[in-house]
Amino acid sequence: MKMSSSSCTLLGTSAVTSRDRQGKVSSGTFHNRSHHLHVSVSLSSVNRTFRQGTRKVRLPLRTANDPTRFPSAVFASKDVGNTLGDEYFHEDPSERFHWTSAVSKAAVLDIALEQAVRICRSQLPEGSAEPTLAIVWASSRFCTAYSAILEKLKALVPSVETIVGSSGFGVIGGAEGDGLSEGPLPPEEVELVPAVSLTLAVLPGVEVTSFRVTPSTIPDADAPPDRWAELTGVPLPAPSQGEGEGAPNADEDRPHFVLFIDPSFREVQEVLQGLDFAYPESTKVGGLASSTSMQEQWCTFWSGEGQRGTCYGGMVGLALRGNGLSMQSVVAQGCRQIGDETLTITAGERNLVAEVQDGAGRTKTPLQALQEMVAALSPEDQMLAQKTIMVALTQDSLKSPEELEAGDFLIRGLQGADPERGLLAVGDSVKVGQRMRFMVRDRMGAMEDLKQHLQDYKRQELRNSFLGSETRESPFGAVLFSCNGRGTGLFSQPNFDSRTFAEYIPVNVSGVFCNGEVGQVGSSTYLHGFTAVFGIIMQHVRSFCRLSPSSSSVSAGRSQGPKEGGLGT
């Protein structure tokens, strides 16, 4: 979603006004170091043009893979990369973070791995440190050669200390181009055929920890957080000591997790709850290994801390911690709302909804609410509701219906109904006060849902850039766990999930098609279906400029003002 923007000269203090396609306006005051420059604000950060008098400088897209870029607005001095950018453009290249991605469709495993390594290495700039982390996803077409993957990778990239990954129905990675384009490689989703996706990561100063969980090693339900730290090998974050200029940066101490899970591992939700308990502020993403057919075995890969091999059963985990690295998730569950009613659960227990209240304050049984909603639908949606009706449940009952966003809802199946009492049984526990909507899954709904989540993410990123923080989070890579029910089978076109993401957040993406996806809704982590889960890898960097909301303004002469629901400043 590209934003149009008014361009303004920054001299000490000036205002900038931005408007997206929906007419939502945001504005803030930028403080620089008394340098004349113009700014073009692009919400997707895809087009980055500096205006310097009558001269334009277009930065290559490679800056999107560089932690120095500003997330929603790009700045340059008269001498680009010299004055405002001194601290970053002239830092030691060996201290930079890099997240490379490649996919190879070679039918021979050795050739596929060699090609993927070559493509990944070609993305590392001169002077970069050597990669120490590899994430590999291999098509299950290579199931007879799984055991050779780790040894081959280690031979090709001797600097790598940790290798994790899994098999997949399909894999996702950067597609090799003509060598002329700068920036992240366009992601390609390869389904049903032999292929390998590889990420080589350079993360100086980051603690990289891998671990494995099996049913026999899971701490019991009453175990303290220390037991989970022993299991994962990841230190518990220090308790928060409040905010303020002198307070420690909690993000520096917070690990983030990427999980690779065998589908036969029944204790998944138990482990997710334990990780949430021990690491409540950490982001967790992941997926269940998959295969293209029942005849092809799935597996996970794990090499680190003296361990190397393919794993069957259990879970392999990767934890990243320290040196300003962070991760956020986008969880698109592939549904759209039918009807326009947001209900409040007023009675229920376990997974049974007994009574709801509509927006007008009327109470009714949930079955009555469903029947009324379906009766008002178009014939097409009525047919769809008979096949794919779902419910969406909020995890935060304090938000009003107007404040709710797509990411506030957990999608679960409708398991049954009691016609006599009007009860509905849903695929998760419920509690009084939760908001509930009725949803369906279809192609257009999944498309709209993903775009809405990405727009919400970018909108929040833009809000954060207006808060005046000394630091910001700059994306430099991403992982994608997509349901094997999405892809071309759902969208009738290739690469929809990954390339839509890249339009909003242009960084290298790698991933896999899964049997189930792990992602957070609110503060809890769940196992999902028909979902695309993105883990956005970011680095904390110092801002060149500070945005002062208190002195922000909207240029009325260049816009018609914000529409209702636009961004506040």
- Give residue-wise pLDDT tens across range 334-383: 999 998 889 999 999 999 999 999 988 899 999 999 999 999 999 999 99
- Average pLDDT on 251-265 reads 91
For the ranges 83-92, 224-233, 461-470, 499-508, the lowest mean pLDDT is seen at 83-92
- 223 in a structural domain: yes
- Claim to verify: residue 397 and residue 473 sit in the same structural domain: no
Domain containing 214 equals 98-237+250-333+447-542
- 340 in a structural domain: no
User: What pLDDT score was predicted for residue 543?
Assistant: 58
For the ranges 51-55, 103-107, 317-321, 356-360, the lowest mean pLDDT is seen at 51-55
C-alpha span between 270 and 257 (Å, rounded): 16
- Claim to verify: residue 310 and residue 404 sit in the same structural domain: no
CB burial of 422-449 (b: ≥16 within 10 Å; e: otherwise) equals bbbbbeeebeeebbbbbbbbbeebbbbb
- Claim to verify: residue 211 and residue 354 sit in the same structural domain: no
User: What pLDDT score was predicted for residue 310?
Assistant: 86
- Backbone torsions φ then ψ of 251, nearest 5 degrees: -60, -30
User: What pLDDT score was predicted for residue 406?
Assistant: 79
Q: What percent of the chain has pLDDT over 90?
A: 60
- Claim to verify: residue 43 and residue 174 sit in the same structural domain: no
For the ranges 179-188, 226-235, 327-336, the lowest mean pLDDT is seen at 179-188
Evaluate if residue 63 carries a pLDDT over 50: no
- 80 in a structural domain: yes
Q: Which two tokens stand for residue 368?
A: 């009555």
pTM for this predicted structure: 0.79
Q: For residue range 100-142, list pLDDT tens digits in order.
A: 999 999 999 999 999 999 999 999 998 899 999 999 999 999 9
- Partners of 525 in the β-ladder: 520
Q: For residue range 71-102, list pLDDT tens digits in order.
A: 333 332 222 232 233 333 336 777 889 999 99
Confidence label for 386 from pLDDT (cuts 50, 70 and 90): confident
User: What pLDDT score was predicted for residue 40?
Assistant: 35
- Average pLDDT on 222-247 reads 79
C-alpha span between 405 and 497 (Å, rounded): 20
User: What pLDDT score was predicted for residue 565?
Assistant: 36
- Claim to verify: residue 176 and residue 46 sit in the same structural domain: no
- Claim to verify: residue 422 and residue 467 sit in the same structural domain: no
- 531 in a structural domain: yes
User: What pLDDT score was predicted for residue 240?
Assistant: 61
User: What pLDDT score was predicted for residue 562?
Assistant: 34
Q: For residue range 392-449, list pLDDT tens digits in order.
A: 999 766 777 777 877 889 999 999 999 999 999 999 999 999 999 999 999 999 999 9
- Average pLDDT on 242-269 reads 77
- 338 in a structural domain: no
- 501 in a structural domain: yes
Query: Count of domains in the chain?
Result: 3
- Claim to verify: residue 206 and residue 292 sit in the same structural domain: yes
**Highest mean pLDDT out of 232-246, 394-408, 537-551:** 394-408
**What mean pLDDT, rounded, does the chain reach?**
79
From residue 290, alpha-carbon distances to 6, 168, 452, 534 in Å are 48, 5, 28, 18
Evaluate if residue 328 carries a pLDDT over 50: yes
Examine the fold and report which residue of 389, 420, 440 is the final residue of a domain before the chain moves on: 440
**Highest mean pLDDT out of 74-78, 270-274, 461-465:** 270-274
User: What pLDDT score was predicted for residue 12?
Assistant: 30
- Claim to verify: residue 130 and residue 78 sit in the same structural domain: no
Half-sphere exposure of 324 (CA within 13 A, CB side): 17
Examine the fold and report which residue of 420, 440, 460 is the final residue of a domain before the chain moves on: 440
- Claim to verify: residue 431 and residue 535 sit in the same structural domain: no
User: What pLDDT score was predicted for residue 182?
Assistant: 72
- 116 in a structural domain: yes
Evaluate if residue 44 carries a pLDDT over 80: no
Confidence label for 25 from pLDDT (cuts 50, 70 and 90): very low
Evaluate if residue 320 carries a pLDDT over 50: yes
- Average pLDDT on 275-279 reads 97
- 563 in a structural domain: no
- What is the CA angle 201-456-528, rounded to 5? 65
- Average pLDDT on 153-172 reads 96
- Average pLDDT on 447-476 reads 85
- Average pLDDT on 279-292 reads 96
Examine the fold and report which residue of 440, 467, 488 is the final residue of a domain before the chain moves on: 440
- Claim to verify: residue 102 and residue 84 sit in the same structural domain: no
User: What pLDDT score was predicted for residue 29?
Assistant: 33
- Partners of 144 in the β-ladder: none
In this structure, are strands 284-288 and 256-261 parallel, antiparallel, or unpaired? parallel
Evaluate if residue 560 carries a pLDDT over 50: no
Spatial contact of 10 and 29, defined as CB atoms under 8 Å apart: no
Phi-psi region for residue 476, left (φ > 0), alpha (ψ -120 to 50) or beta?
alpha
Q: What percent of the chain has pLDDT over 70?
A: 74
Spatial contact of 531 and 330, defined as CB atoms under 8 Å apart: no
- Average pLDDT on 458-463 reads 86
- Average pLDDT on 158-170 reads 96
Contacts of 338 (CB under 8 A, 6+ apart): 373, 374, 377, 381, 384, 385, 438, 439, 440
- Claim to verify: residue 210 and residue 304 sit in the same structural domain: yes
Confidence label for 457 from pLDDT (cuts 50, 70 and 90): very high
User: What pLDDT score was predicted for residue 540?
Assistant: 83
User: What pLDDT score was predicted for residue 251?
Assistant: 61
For the ranges 57-66, 476-485, 513-522, the lowest mean pLDDT is seen at 57-66
User: What pLDDT score was predicted for residue 472?
Assistant: 77
Confidence label for 58 from pLDDT (cuts 50, 70 and 90): very low
Spatial contact of 137 and 235, defined as CB atoms under 8 Å apart: no
- Claim to verify: residue 116 and residue 224 sit in the same structural domain: yes
